[in-house]
Chains A and B, each alone.
Chain A
């Protein structure tokens, strides 16, 4: 079964600290992996998109990594800010021969405290 599992479910960190969010997937065939940030009461916004051949991709203080062999991805946030408080969603896209369907993780709720 195609699944995307994220951990931890929730995380509280102090402003200025770094953190890493995990995403494990059992999706096949794999097309790409995306990380989204969803602020409370808003729609998800894309942070990164990585294909099979990409190991890492950065977007400002956000760095995503992908290990296609172990089917794991991580999102590292550097020098966290209060505005980073949000839900972070890992999404894996199936190959086009499977309709290109998106499989969503349940999200990690990050809270950054002053």
Chain B
């Protein structure tokens, strides 16, 4: 049982480059989330999805886009990376019993 899998785990980008983080869950969860974690701060919600084909903004959505074309996948895109987007990104999904499962994280550095 893989749970929540994120790829890539590490990435270095130049300012202005674009990239996509992939999140895959094999638990048939409807709800999926993308968070970022910065030093000294709690996790902050970027975007979330309540089901296939739906997405919604979280508290820090600017500079990011998401897509949920398939129930098991939730993609986070950076169209034009900025140094302020250097962070650790966590994907999560939520079970019907409201337990939240996190991925292992993706470390992104924008230089």
Q: Which residue of B lies closest to A101 (CB)?
A: B45
What total count of A-B pairs have CB within 8 Å? 40
CA distance A107 to B42 in the complex (A): 7
Q: Is the CB of B42 within 8 A of A45?
A: no
| Residue of A43, A93, A104 with highest tally of chain B CB at under 10 A | A43
B104 neighbours in A (Cβ, 8 Å) = 41-43
* Beta-carbon contact of B102 and A43 below 8 Å: yes
Contacts of B90 in A (CB 8 A): 43-44
A86: CB under 8 A from chain B? no
**Interchain nearest-CB distance for B11 vs A (Å):** 15
| Residues A89 and B102 in contact, CB atoms below 8 Å apart | no
Q: Whose C-beta in chain A lies nearest to the C-beta of B42? A: A104
Q: How many residues of A contact B (CB 8 A)?
A: 20
Number of interface residues of B (CB under 8 A): 17
Chain A's nearest CB lies how many Å from the CB of B48? 9
Interface residues of A in 20-76 (CB under 8 A from B): 32, 34, 41-46, 49
Residues of B contacting A34 in the complex (Cβ-Cβ under 8 angstroms): 100
Write the A96-114 contact mask toward B (1 if CB under 8 angstroms, else 0). Answer: 0000011111110000000
Do B103 and A104 touch (CB < 8 A)?
Answer: no
Cα(A46)–Cα(B4), bound, Å: 14
Cβ < 8 Å to A, chain B residues 85-111 = 90, 92, 98-105
B105 and A41: CB pair below 8 A?
A: yes
A88 to chain B minimum Cβ distance, whole angstroms, is 12
